[in-house]
């Protein structure tokens, strides 16, 4: 067991208002409060990975699926995809849509422990999917047909205490706890459907990379990720069911999105989508937090 310390703003530690990171083999007692009370899907992953989604399991493991696009001789990854041509997201966190670099991407929460992703190429290009554990950062992975089965040891977080200082929050007693391979395990799975083009899998120690070429004759790719027990992650909906569910989520978002008239209210849908598109999984709180977006609301208000 390894305790990694994530205190912030604690007097006597330099620099004063930076994260303090240290580690120890011992620490506070681990109990039920150190794990998520239920699985959690976040259709953004982390602030520096807007091109992905993640799911956290009851044993604390967190799994990421992200995409990249190969176009004009280079891979467009997180930074290039962070400012899409168009984006939309629902208030309840069940739907998120991006269009960028010739690809339309839809993320949909399927249920409490799984999500689906649809990628549609608008031109000839190559797509890369990367499936990996975020917490802990290591796992065992194997390929069975078109499904990657992965498992990792449990992962715990001690949230600690927070108190307000003059212009920031002080965090004390906050730990990220990792376990060795003898600890109880949690499973996750990625299943890829769709493209007539044959994709390739590269399975590493802590990551699986899937690459496929898409074009007009084979333009769509659908992926499904679930976290749970060894048996439950093998329960995968059919491709037809996933496509139907993604389509229904798009229709529901269109029907329920906020609309208005006038200089300000006419932009309300874009403003809300900009805000909701900037949620990310906060591992040290075991929940979803908003992260700063410098341009979302301003861009919506000033668009011609």
Q: Which domains does the chain have, with CATH numbers?
A: 2-254 (2.70.98)
Rounded-to-integer distance, Cα 68 and Cα 158, Å: 33
Alpha-carbon dihedral sign for residues 114, 38, 235, 210:
positive
Mean pLDDT of 206-212: 94
Inform me whether the pLDDT recorded for 111 exceeds 80.
yes
Rounded-to-integer distance, Cα 30 and Cα 177, Å: 9
Burial of 273 from C-beta contacts in 10 A (0-12 / 13-18 / 19+): buried
Tell me: the pLDDT tens digits for 33-62? 999 999 999 998 776 677 999 999 999 999
pTM above 0.95, yes or no: no
Region of poorest pLDDT, from 28-32, 89-93, 186-190: 89-93
Tell me: the pLDDT tens digits for 161-174? 888 877 777 888 89
Grade residue 264 by pLDDT with cuts at 50, 70 and 90.
Answer: low
Q: Are 139 and 200 in contact (CB under 8 A)?
A: no
Rounded-to-integer distance, Cα 253 and Cα 56, Å: 24
Q: Select the more confidently predicted residue: 23 or 45.
A: 23
Q: State the Rg of the chain over Cα.
A: 20
Provide CB contacts within 8 A for 71, sequence distance 6+: 101, 102, 125, 126
Rounded-to-integer distance, Cα 210 and Cα 229, Å: 24
């Amino acid at each position: 067991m390894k305790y990694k310390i994530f205190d912030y703003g604690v007097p006597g530690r330099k620099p004063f208002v930076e994260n303090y990171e240290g580690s120890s083999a011992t620490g506070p007692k681990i109990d039920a409060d150190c794990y998520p009370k239920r699985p959690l899907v976040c259709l953004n992953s982390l602030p520096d990975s807007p091109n992905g989604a993640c799911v956290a399991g009851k044993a604390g493991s967190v799994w990421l699926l992200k995409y990249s696009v190969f176009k004009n001789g280079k891979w467009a990854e997180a930074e290039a995809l962070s400012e899409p041509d168009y984006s939309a997201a629902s208030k309840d966190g069940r739907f998120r849509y991006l269009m960028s670099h010739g690809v339309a991407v839809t993320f949909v929460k399927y249920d409490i422990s799984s999500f689906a992703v649809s990628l549609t190429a608008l031109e000839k290009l190559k797509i890369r999917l990367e499936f990996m554990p975020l917490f802990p950062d290591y796992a065992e992975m194997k390929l069975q047909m078109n499904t990657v089965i992965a498992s990792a040891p449990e992962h715990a977080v001690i949230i600690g205490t927070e108190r307000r200082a003059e212009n920031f929050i002080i965090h004390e007693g906050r730990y990220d706890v990792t376990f060795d391979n003898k600890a109880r395990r949690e499973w996750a799975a990625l299943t890829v459907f769709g493209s007539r083009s044959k994709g390739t899998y590269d399975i590493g120690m802590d990551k699986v990379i899937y690459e496929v070429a898409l074009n007009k004759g084979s333009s769509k790719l659908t992926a499904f990720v679930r976290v749970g027990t060894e048996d439950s992650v093998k329960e995968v909906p059919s491709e037809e069911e996933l496509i139907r569910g993604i389509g229904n989520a798009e229709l529901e978002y269109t029907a329920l999105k906020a609309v208005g008239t006038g200089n300000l209210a006419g932009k309300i849908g874009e403003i809300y989508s900009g805000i909701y598109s900037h949620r990310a999984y906060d591992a040290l709180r075991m929940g979803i937090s908003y992260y700063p977006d410098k341009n979302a609301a301003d861009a919506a208000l000033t668009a011609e």
